[in-house]
């Protein structure tokens, strides 16, 4: 089960809106545009996304600046259509369009036909499994100035979005859209 919400910072505090994010969003650019529409002037907007017991993501948009992204578990998010929007090539540290393994880099030593060879799967790589790391990726300092340190963000697991909202002083407004 997924949950997504926008938290927009205003003069009066945070305003939350439940959003059918991914019904209208196919790219990170679409997501940033949606968030900017929710902002009053160039205020901060946070997009909070979670897949229950698997991963959560925070996207921060400050005016026209590029979105800052943090994903708690890239490998889990990669198996999700919501996560795919957040896991950009830049975030994963790869060249755009570099989704497929480089065939020149594969070690074709004759063992690919079922012959017994040394068990060196970890060294020869597994293509997409290596492309998306297990664990957190992105800007872990995305919420530092809002009261959630890198260390705190990386230690969150269950109820992460609730804990983030509490630190921001926005737990009540987030609960209204849950």
The per-residue pLDDT for range 10-19, each reduced to its tens digit, is: 888 999 887 6
- Greater model confidence, 126 or 27: 27
Binned at pLDDT 50, 70 and 90, residue 124 comes out as: very low
What's the rounded Cα separation, in Å, for the pair 133 and 156?
Answer: 18
Tokens of 4: 């997504």
- This prediction has a pTM of 0.79
Q: Is the Cβ–Cβ distance between 178 and 20 less than 8 Å?
A: no
**Can you give the pLDDT at residue 126?**
42
What's the rounded Cα separation, in Å, for the pair 129 and 23?
Answer: 28
Tokens of 159: 């109820």
């Amino acid at each position: 089960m997924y949950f997504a919400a926008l938290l927009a910072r205003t003069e009066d505090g945070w305003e939350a809106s439940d959003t059918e994010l991914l019904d209208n969003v196919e790219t990170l650019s679409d997501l940033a545009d949606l968030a900017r529409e929710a902002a009053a002037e160039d205020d901060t907007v946070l997009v909070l996304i979670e897949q229950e017991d698997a991963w959560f993501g925070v996207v921060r948009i400050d005016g026209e600046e590029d979105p800052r992204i943090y994903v708690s578990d890239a490998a889990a998010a990669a198996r999700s259509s919501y996560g795919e929007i957040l896991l950009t090539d830049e975030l994963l540290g790869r060249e755009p369009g570099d989704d497929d393994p480089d065939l020149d880099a594969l070690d074709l030593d004759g063992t690919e036909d079922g012959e017994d060879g040394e068990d060196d799967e970890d060294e020869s790589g597994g293509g997409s499994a290596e492309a998306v790391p297990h664990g957190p990726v992105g800007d872990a300092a995305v919420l530092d100035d809002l009261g959630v340190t890198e260390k705190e963000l990386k230690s969150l697991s269950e109820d992460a979005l609730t804990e983030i909202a509490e630190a921001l002083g926005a737990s009540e407004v987030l609960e209204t859209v849950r």
